[in-house]
Amino acid sequence: MSIMVDEPRAAPIRPTPERLAKGGVIVPEEDRLGRAKPWYARECLVDVYAGDGTITPRQAMAGYNFRSLWYRAHGSDVKAQSLQTRIMGGANEMSDGKEAAQETLKLIAARYGSDMFSCLRAIVGQGETWSHWARSRGEWPQAGKLALRMSLTRHADELKLPDDAKT
């Protein structure tokens, strides 16, 4: 006859106090058996806006595309930088991928105009909220939401992403 012994519950892995202070960490609830669910954090504002319904899935895909392009061009403080072979050229060496991404961003800036590109750069690329972006331009904070939606829709159109109804 075997005796059933409750296994000791392991404490869930928690974010550091510094990460909690930064914000954006989602505190999990326990599941039906009392076990803690994993902790997770939103990686960027596109995740947040897609999660709360501010932007559509198509706009979110366009945002992820722009964010990826921005990080390839400028690097990220969160992700490891490129290990591609460097172009020889002194102190300002640049990988081929980084140079190509910067050229693509220049083309996008020229094609979309300063307002739309500024919106994408600030909100998707640099992580400002849409209300902060609008206030910094001297506009009503809610105007940033519309500008973000229009900019992401324009980028989705340029990428020829399928409409939300077709996905």
Residue range 77-109, pLDDT digits in tens: 555 455 555 555 544 555 677 888 889 999 999
Task: List the chain domain ranges.
Answer: 12-41, 45-166
State the Cα–Cα distance between residues 167 and 162, nearest whole angstrom.
7
Question: d(Cα 21, Cα 89) in Å, to the nearest integer?
Answer: 41
Cβ density class 32-55: b for 16+ within 10 Å, e for less: eeeeeeeeeeeebbbbebbeeebb
Lowest average pLDDT, out of 20-24, 50-54, 145-149, goes to 20-24
State the pLDDT confidence band at 158, using cuts at 50, 70 and 90.
very high
Cβ count near 125 (within 10 Å): 21
Residue 110 pLDDT > 90, yes or no? yes
Greater pLDDT, 65 or 93: 65
Does pTM top 0.85 for this prediction?
Answer: no
Residue 39 pLDDT > 90? no
Q: How far apart are CA 13 and CA 17, in angstroms?
A: 12
Write down the pLDDT at residue 16. 79
117-141 confidence digits (pLDDT tens): 999 999 998 888 989 999 999 999 8
